C-alpha cells in the first residue's frame, strides 16, 4: 500500500524510509516491506550492505538468542548465516541450557551477497545508494528526508539505522581521518540535523583487529578448534543438513607481546587523549587488556577465516589502534604469526550516538512521531543487537503507518518475552554510558528465554502481525504438540526393577532402588540426558532433533520453569499497568524532584519500566501507584 503523499522530483517517495543498510537497516526494511508497505532503503554505499566490518561471525553468548528471536519474528539473519556459514559451535555446553548459545563463522562476502539478494528480491522494497543529510518534520512528526544531492523523499515513517557512520573518524596511532569502517565514507551532515531537532549526541568508540594473509600464518604452531557435529542451524526453517568447512585456531599473547604494548602506550591513542569516545567494556582493545590486567601472563587469540574466496584471516581478541609499526611488532611476537603479513591494519573508529532514553520501548523517539532509531546509533555494539533492534523498529514503523486511519498498534516485547525486549527496555529506561552488549546475565528470566524456544515464544506474535507465514506457525505448533507428547511419555514410561535397569543405573552413577522409576524422574537427575535414557528405551529418541532438545529441557527443568513462570506472573502486574503518556509527573508533589524530572523526561510505558529508571526509588513507585488509584479513569490495563 502507499498513501497519497505528494510526489516530488521524479516521484521519489515511500511509506517508510530506512536509512542505513547494516544489520539493523536490513531487518527493518525487510520487516516493513513484508508488512505490505512501500519501503525505501537508503544506504551510503551499496557495497556496504550487511557488511561485517568487524568479526566474521554471527551469534555467541546471548547474541545467539537474539538471532533466534529475529528469525522467529520473521527476520533474515538466521537464514542468511545458515546459508553462508563456514563453521558452527554451541557455546557454554558445560553450563545450563539458559546460556547455551550458537555461534557460526561466516563467509563475509557470501553473507553480504545473500542479504543483498533478500533485499533486492523482496516485493515492495527499493534499495538505493545515497546519503541522507537531514530529517524533515512537521507538527511533531516525520515528513521526509533530504539527500546529499538535494532530493527530498517524503515518507510517513523513518527508521534511522546509521551504524558507526555519523561523523565517523578512523584512528591508527597518530594518523586520523574522517571515514567509516573498511575504507568507506562517513556521514557528516546527519548529526547536525539530529542536533537541530533537539537530540543530544555523544561519542562512542569501537575497534577492530588486523587481518592476516593466510599464506603467512603457521597454523601448526596453534591449537585447532573444530566445529560441532552435527551442525545446529540458526533458523527454525532450515531443515537441510549443514556442514563445517573450516577450523579456527587458538593461540596466545606472551610476555614479549605485552612488553611491546607497554613500551608503546605513550603512542596509543587510547592513552594519549586522541580518542575521546567511550569504548566497549566487554570487547576492549588489546592495549586496554594489558593495562587493565597487568598481572595476566597471556590472553587468548583466535584466528578466524573471513571467507572461502578470501585470503584474509581475522585475529579475534587483538583489536587495536596502536601505530602501524607497533602493530607489526606486536602481531609478529605471537606463536603462529612470527612471519605474518598484515593485509589490513587494526583501527579504532569514533562515531556519534543518541541517548536511547529519548526512545520509547518501540524504538520510536519521544520527540517525533514515526521517527524510529535502531542499531549502533542507540549506543549498542554487535551485529545481533543491531538486527534485533532493526526488526523491532521496522515492525513498529510499519504498524505506525498501517494504523494511521485506525487505532495505533505497537509491538512492545517485554523482558519476559524476548532478549530483544530486555535490550529495548535496558536502553530506553537505563540508557548506556558505553557500547551496550547483550549478555545472558542481563535477563532476569533467562531460563525462560532460551534459544531453543524462541519460536514458541515469538512465532504466534509474528504471525498475528502478518510476518510469519501460516506454514511457519503450523510448524511451531507441531513442535510444541510433539514436545508435549514426549513429555507425557516420559512421565508415563516407568522402568521397574530389573538387571538391565540396575546395570544402567550403576553405569550412570545412580543409586540402586527397588522402586519403579519413571523416565521423567530419571531425566531430572543431574548428569542424565534423554540420550542416556534411550539406552533403556530407544523409542524416546524418535522424532526431530530440535523438538527432542526442546522437550528435554522443558521436562528436566520443569520445577525451575514453574518457579520462573510464577515470578513472571507477579512481575506482570507492574508491567501491565500502562502509564498515560500525558501523566503530569512534575505536578505530583509527593514524588521526589529527581523522580519527577526523570519520569517526565523519559515517559515510561508502565509502572514496571518506571521502577527500572535509575533515580526512581521504590517509594516513588508507591507514590505513583497511589496517584493512579486516585485517578483510576486514566489507567488502562492491557489484560483487561
Taking the C-alpha atoms of residue 159 and residue 401, their distance in angstroms, rounded to an integer, is 12
Supply the pLDDT for residue 407: 61
Q: How confident is the model at residue 640 (pLDDT cuts 50, 70, 90)?
A: very low
598-613: per-residue pLDDT in tens?
Answer: 999 999 999 999 999 9
Strand partners, 59: 103
pTM of the model: 0.94
| Pick from 18-22, 274-278, 326-330, 433-437: least confident | 274-278
Mean pLDDT over 490-499 rounds to 95
Could you tell me which residues come within 8 angstroms of residue 374 by beta carbon, excluding any fewer than 6 positions away?
24, 25, 28, 159, 160, 161, 363, 386, 389, 390, 392, 393, 394
Is 11 a residue whose pLDDT tops 60?
no
Q: Tell me whether residue 219 is exposed, middle or buried, using C-beta atoms within 10 angstroms of its C-beta: 0 to 12, 13 to 18, 19 or more.
A: middle
635 pLDDT exceeds 80?
Answer: no
C-alpha cell at 338: 612470527
Phi, psi angle pair for 27, to nearest 5°: -70, -40
Non-local CB neighbours of 481 within 8 Å, separated by 6+ positions: none
- Identify whether the C-beta of residue 517 lies closer than 8 Å to the C-beta of residue 490: no
Nearest 5°: CA angle at 592, between 590 and 597? 115
Percent of the chain with pLDDT strictly greater than 70: 96
Task: Single out the residue of 317, 93, 56 nearest to residue 182, CA to CA.
Answer: 56
> Residue 251: which pLDDT band, with cuts at 50, 70 and 90?
very high
Asked whether residue 379 carries a pLDDT value surpassing 70, the answer given is yes
Average pLDDT over residues 182-203: 95
Q: CA of 323: how far to CAs of 23, 56, 122, 263, in Å?
A: 30, 24, 44, 12
- Judge whether residue 477 has pLDDT over 60: yes
Burial of 77 (0-12, 13-18, 19+ CB in 10 A): buried
**Which ranges in 357-403 belong to alpha helices (H)?**
383-402
CB 512 within 8 A of CB 505: yes
Give me the pLDDT at residue 353, please: 98
pLDDT one-digit tens code per residue, 89-138: 999 999 999 999 999 999 999 999 999 999 999 999 999 999 999 999 99
Assess contact for 512 and 445: CB atoms under 8 A.
Answer: no
Task: Look at residue 405 and give its three-state secondary structure.
Answer: coil
**Averaged pLDDT score across all residues of the chain:** 94
Q: What is the pLDDT of residue 408?
A: 65
> By mean pLDDT, which of 60-64, 299-303, 588-592 is the weakest?
588-592
Answer yes or no: is pLDDT of 632 > 80: no
State the pLDDT at residue 16: 98
How many of the other CB atoms lie within 10 Å of CB of 627?
A: 17
Q: Is the pLDDT of residue 230 over 50?
A: yes
Contact 52, 22 (CB under 8 A): no
Show the domains of the chain with their CATH numbers: 14-206+351-441 (3.50.50.60), 211-348 (2.40.30.260), 484-566 (1.10.10.1800), 576-637 (1.10.150.570)
Q: What is the mean pLDDT of residues 435-460?
A: 96
**Mean pLDDT for the stretch of residues 238-256:** 97
Query: How far apart are the C-alpha atoms of 231 and 338, rounded to whole Å?
Result: 33
Give the distance, in angstroms, between the CA of residue 43 and the centroid of all CA atoms in the same chain.
21
Tell me the sheet residues that pair with 304.
314
The span from the CA of 406 to the CA of 363, in Å, is 21
In 3D, which of 163, 609, 193 has the Cα closest to residue 427? 609
Start-end of H helices in 45-134: 63-72, 77-84, 108-120
pLDDT at residue 139 is higher than 80 = yes
End-to-end CA distance of the chain: 33
The pLDDT confidence band at residue 2, using thresholds 50, 70 and 90, is very low
- Cα separation of 200 and 431, whole Å? 13
Amino acid at each position: 500500500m502507499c498513501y497519497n503523499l505528494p510526489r516530488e522530483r521524479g516521484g521519489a517517495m515511500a511509506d517508510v524510509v530506512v536509512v542505513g543498510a547494516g544489520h539493523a537497516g536490513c531487518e527493518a526494511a525487510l520487516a516493513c516491506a513484508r508488512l505490505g508497505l512501500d519501503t525505501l532503503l537508503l544506504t551510503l554505499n551499496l557495497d556496504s550492505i550487511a557488511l561485517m566490518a568487524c568479526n566474521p561471525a554471527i551469534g555467541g553468548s546471548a547474541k545467539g538468542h537474539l538471532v533466534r528471536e529475529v528469525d522467529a519474528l520473521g527476520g533474515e539473519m538466521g537464514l542468511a548465516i545458515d546459508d553462508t556459514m563456514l563453521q558452527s559451535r554451541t557455546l557454554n555446553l558445560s553450563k545450563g541450557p539458559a546460556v547455551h548459545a550458537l555461534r557460526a563463522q561466516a563467509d563475509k562476502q557470501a553473507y553480504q551477497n545473500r542479504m543483498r539478494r533478500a533485499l533486492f528480491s523482496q516485493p515492495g522494497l527499493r534499495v538505493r545508494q545515497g546519503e541522507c543529510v537531514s530529517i524533515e518534520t512537521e507538527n511533531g512528526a516525520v515528513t521526509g528526508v533530504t539527500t546529499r544531492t538535494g532530493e527530498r523523499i517524503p515518507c510517513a515513517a523513518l527508521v534511522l539505522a546509521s551504524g558507526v557512520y555519523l561523523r565517523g573518524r578512523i584512528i591508527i596511532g597518530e594518523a586520523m581521518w574522517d571515514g567509516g569502517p573498511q575504507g568507506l565514507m562517513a556521514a557528516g551532515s546527519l548529526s547536525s540535523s539530529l542536533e537541530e531537532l533537539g537530540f543530544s549526541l555523544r561519542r562512542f568508540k569501537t575497534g577492530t583487529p588486523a587481518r592476516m594473509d593466510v599464506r603467512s600464518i603457521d597454523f601448526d604452531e596453534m591449537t585447532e578448534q573444530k566445529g560441532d557435529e552435527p551442525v545446529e542451524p540458526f533458523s527454525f526453517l532450515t531443515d537441510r543438513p549443514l556442514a563445517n568447512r573450516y577450523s579456527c585456531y587458538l593461540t596466545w599473547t606472551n610476555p614479549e607481546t605485552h612488553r611491546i604494548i607497554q613500551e608503546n602506550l605513550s603512542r596509543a591513542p587510547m592513552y594519549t587523549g586522541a580518542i575521546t569516545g567511550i569504548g566497549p567494556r566487554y570487547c576492549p582493545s588489546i592495549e586496554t587488556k594489558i593495562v587493565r590486567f597487568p598481572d595476566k601472563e597471556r590472553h587468548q587469540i583466535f584466528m578466524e577465516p573471513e571467507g572461502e574466496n578470501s585470503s584474509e584471516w581475522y585475529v579475534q581478541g587483538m583489536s587495536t589502534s596502536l601505530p602501524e609499526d607497533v602493530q607489526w611488532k606486536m602481531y609478529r611476537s605471537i606463536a603462529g604469526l612470527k612471519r605474518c603479513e598484515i593485509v589490513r591494519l587494526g583501527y579504532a573508529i569514533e562515531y556519534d550516538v543518541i541517548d536511547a532514553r529519548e526512545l520509547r520501548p518501540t524504538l520510536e523517539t519521544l520527540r517525533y512521531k514515526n521517527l524510529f532509531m535502531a542499531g549502533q546509533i542507540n549506543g549498542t555494539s554487535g551485529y545481533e543487537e543491531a538486527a534485533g533492534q532493526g526488526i523491532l523498529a521496522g515492525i513498529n514503523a510499519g504498524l505506525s503507518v498501517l494504523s494511521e486511519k485506525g487505532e495505533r498498534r505497537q509491538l512492545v516485547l517485554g523482558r519476559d518475552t524476548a532478549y530483544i525486549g530486555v535490550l529495548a527496555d535496558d536502553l530506553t529506561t537505563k540508557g548506556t554510558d558505553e557500547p551496550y552488549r547483550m549478555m545472558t546475565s542481563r535477563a532476569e528470566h533467562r531460563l525462560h528465554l532460551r534459544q531453543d524456544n524462541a519460536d514458541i515464544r515469538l512465532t504466534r506474535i509474528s504471525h498475528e502481525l502478518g510476518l510469519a507465514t501460516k506454514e511457519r506457525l503450523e510448524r511451531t505448533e507441531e513442535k510444541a504438540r510433539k514436545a508435549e507428547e514426549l513429555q507425557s511419555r516420559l512421565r508415563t514410561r516407568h522402568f521397574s526393577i530389573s538387571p538391565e535397569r540396575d546395570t544402567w543405573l550403576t553405569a550412570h552413577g545412580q543409586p540402586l532402588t527397588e522402586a519403579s522409576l519413571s523416565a521423567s524422574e530419571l531425566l531430572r537427575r543431574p548428569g542424565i540426558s534423554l540420550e542416556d535414557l534411550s539406552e533403556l528405551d530407544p523409542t524416546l529418541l524418535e522424532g526431530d532433533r530440535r523438538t527432542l532438545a526442546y522437550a528435554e529441557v522443558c521436562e528436566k527443568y520443569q520445577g525451575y520453569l514453574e518457579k520462573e513462570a510464577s515470578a513472571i506472573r507477579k512481575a506482570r502486574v507492574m508491567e501491565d499497568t500502562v502509564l498515560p503518556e500525558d501523566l503530569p509527573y512534575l505536578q505530583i508533589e509527593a514524588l521526589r524532584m529527581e523522580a519527577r524530572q526523570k519520569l517526565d523526561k523519559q515517559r515510561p510505558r508502565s509502572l514496571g519500566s518506571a521502577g527500572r529508571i535509575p533515580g526512581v526509588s521504590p517509594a516513588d513507585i508507591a507514590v505513583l501507584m497511589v496517584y493512579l488509584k486516585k485517578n483510576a479513569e486514566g489507567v488502562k490495563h492491557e489484560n483487561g
